Homo-oligomer: A and B are copies of this chain.
């Protein structure tokens, strides 16, 4: 069922982001997908641009948890927690992401809603 396939892609996305695994993240995207993160900035278009974008997050230890997911037609909006351990502190943010999907439940577009002021320091060093 399409809804279950979409839900599985969303869960796999959150897991792969939490595992800081850019290749696993990239495999969930359709070749001509777009990524707008955060919303309001220029979108990254296509696998190469998306790969470069996610590669920037490699090297940090992250944890992630899918908190809420709403699937509507062939679209999903979901809230998740991502914890990032930087050299000087551990920070946490709970973005809301919106995705569209193709027939194989691959991501055709992603939009991430968050702002730097949403970050919360959970552990100073």
Contacts and interface: CB of A to CB of B under 8 A. Distances in A.
**Number of this chain's copies in the complex:** 2
Contact of A40 (B74, B98, B114, B115): B74
B3 A72 contact: no
Contacts of A98: 77, 98, 113
A96 B39 CA distance: 16
A73 interface: yes
A108 to B, nearest CB: 14
B41 A114 contact: no
B95 A70 contact: yes
A19 B123 CA distance: 40
A71 B96 CA distance: 9
Contacts of A72: 38-40, 112-115
Interface of A: 3, 38-41, 68, 70-79, 94-96, 98, 112-115, 118
Nearest 9 Cβ contacts at the A-B interface: A40-B73, A39-B72, A77-B96, A77-B113, A70-B113, A72-B113, A38-B72, A70-B96, A39-B75
